Amino acid sequence: MLSIRKIGVVGRTYRNLNRYRQILAILFKYGFGDLLELLKIEQYIEVGLQLISRNRRYRLEKLSRAERVRMAFEELGPTYVKLGQIISTRPDLVPVDFARELSKLQDEVPSFAFNEVSKIIETELGSPPEELFDFIDETPFASASIGQVHRAGLEDGETVAVKVQRPGIKKIIEVDLEIMLHLATLMERNIKEMALYRPVKIVEEFARTLEKEIDYTIEAASMERFARHFLDDPTIYIPKVYRDTTTERVLTMELVDGIKVSEIERLEEAGLDRKVITARGADFYLKQVFNYGFFHADPHPGNIFILPDNVICLLDFGMTGSVDRQTREDFVDLIDSVVHQHELRATQVLLKLTSWDDEPDIRMLEKDVADFMGQHLYKPLEDIEIGKLLNQLLELASRYRLMIPPDIFFMMKVLTTIEGVALVLDPDFDMIAQAAPFIERVKLARFYPGRIADDMIKLGSEMLQFIQQFPKDMLEITRLIRQRRISFKMEHKGLENMLATHDQISNRISFSIIIAALIIGSALIVISETPPLFYGISLIGIILFSAAALMGIWLLIAILRKGRL
């Protein structure tokens, strides 16, 4: 478990002042000093940090803000590179232009010394590598931000790949995440525009993702799960995991010698059929998504190898996604309604799949969905690219601040990426046609007798549970009311205008009665010639008549101003 604490009083809570200084210096360097000023960060950091020279900033006026963010992340190191890669897949959390720019980040870092590798293996497995393996290459053949991979051999002659986690990477990640969380909290507190993108939520999701990636036992379990799903499929191969030499920080798996799917010339030289590879690869991912609801969420070409006889082999299972049956069916409804130009239904399903802080303008959303379909979908199905279609839907959701759950987004990203890889292998590939049978099976599965029976049994079980639980809940509520531990508050909404109108009516009636009383009283006083008299007329009566006249004129003007007599 990653141990992340919120930063409060400096000197007691965060662990690495030098790292904080380094992060701030890089942010200044790439022109984000204005952002740090808005964060009011001087309250939280020591005076020494304020001495960072702003003259160290590069002159980057010609670069966009998104490009400067990418460059800063690259210089900030592995944790920030990984953050950029992850949030580049989440246009619901960051603007689309930032997501595109951050997708260019490369996870390439120098390897660490073999003596460190030996120490980690011995600590994790209880023996040095020379006792566990017949041989192990000291030079890694792959290196990334979390770990590096060495070729090794087992006593039975099997060649394996041993992935070893970087020394101290967990501590580095925890320090960086603490500082990230602190900066994100300041953003939400002090910058209204940044608060819209929920930076604290981004950091928290990133922490959860990294927590899975730095535990190799989770990756091993994912590989074994995939192997079970495709055990009887001869066109798919998943490398074997060696559990005896796998721990949280060391992963040993079968070393596969294949050709990367992106190496087109090598595929042709080996006599492999690109069209067959394309169809098999697409079916492989479509089965993951629509049949099993558990899928490899990082399908870039470097993770897909081709073996002899056009067999597909998948590597790097550190990032996976899963969606339940109902979500898969809703996603199919979305694709189906978009492809068949049902804008109202597409809008309803899109809202069902997403969440939001502020309710969107449904009428405007329906209009934009209809405009989107009108611009892009009135053409033959074989000309529709599902990747572009899904990306445009994501942009639409982002515009209305609709939050797409991570696994649904990963599912959309997988389909988009696989279509891109497929079109490189086979420019004539039609993803819509390839996916159509899977979509139809999901739609028809709702009407299978077994599925209907299962749904009825589930509904009956829930109804029975409700009938059993409802009396207990009512008794509990009654008990709480008797003990005065619960109270009801009734609030009428929407009655303010009606009450104001009633007040206005009653005020006018009262005012009219007073005027009438003044007129009648004045007349009686005049008739009775109550002194003092003015030219034989009671002065008091004249004053009261005048007051009644003024009040009458005032009431008439008030009525005329409202425009209603």
How far apart are alpha carbons 172 and 120 in whole angstroms?
16
What are the helix and strand counts (H, E) for the chain? Answer: 22, 13
Rg (C-alpha) for the chain, rounded Å, is 35
- With a CB cutoff of 8 Å and minimum separation 6, the contacts of 68 are 30, 31, 32, 60
**What whole-number distance in Å separates Cα of residue 248 and Cα of residue 132?**
17
- Please count the other Cβ atoms lying within 10 Å of the Cβ belonging to residue 387: 19
> 51 exposed, middle or buried (CB, 10 Å; 0-12, 13-18, 19+)?
exposed
Cβ within 8 Å of residue 345, ≥6 positions away: 333, 337
How many other CB atoms are found less than 10 A from the CB of residue 157? 7
Phi, psi at 295, each rounded to 5°: -140, 155
Strand partners, 537: 534
With contact defined as beta carbons under 8 Å apart, do 408 and 327 qualify?
A: yes
Establish whether the linkage from the previous residue to 532 is cis, with ω within 30° of 0. yes
DSSP state, residue 245: G
DSSP letter for 531, please: S
Strands 236-237 and 311-314: parallel
Choosing from 215, 283, 298, 407, the catalytic residue is 298
**3 state DSSP class of 553:** helix
* Residue 355 DSSP symbol: B
**Alpha-carbon span 430 to 279, nearest angstrom:** 10
408 contacts 323 by C-beta, under 8 angstroms: yes
- The single-letter DSSP state of residue 304 is E
- Closest to 259 (Cα-Cα) out of 250, 267, 269: 267
Q: Which residues of 238-274 are buried (b: 16+ CB within 10 A; e: fewer)?
A: bbbbbeebbbebbbbbbbbebbebeeeeebeeeebbb
Instruction: Tell me whether residue 298 is one of the annotated catalytic residues.
Output: yes
Contacts of 373 (CB under 8 A, 6+ apart): 338, 341, 343, 346
User: Active-site residues: which are they?
Assistant: 298
